[in-house]
Amino acid sequence: MSNPHKGRTGLDRIIHAAGYSWAGLKAAYTGESAFRQETWLCIIATPLTYWLAQTWEQAVLLMGSLLLVLIVELLNSAVEAVVDRVSFETHELSKRAKDIASAAVLMALLLAAGVWSAAIWQYLR
């Protein structure tokens, strides 16, 4: 069976890809509470970046660390959806995949916390 989407090229492909991406963001926001929480964290923290950052490099690091959390959460949600699509039965490999994806979110959150803590520390000194 051929993939009907592989024949798209140029602007048509970009438009369809953007639509699929928007649908993915909408699905994550409506269906994943962690993604909603992290989205609101980003919305609230974004204005703080302009107050806290002393250079454009710091602003990029602050915002980038927040966006990385959202990106990793999207990938975590995708892994969970695929594992659940295959089976809801408890299986060692399913648990491992979900746990590893969750650990990736934790690492991204710790990185963001470290970057923001360092920026706050530098600002307050």
Task: Enumerate the active-site residues.
Answer: 73
Residue whose structure tokens are 């916390």: 113
Q: Which of 69, 72, 53, 73 is nearest to 61 (CA)?
A: 53
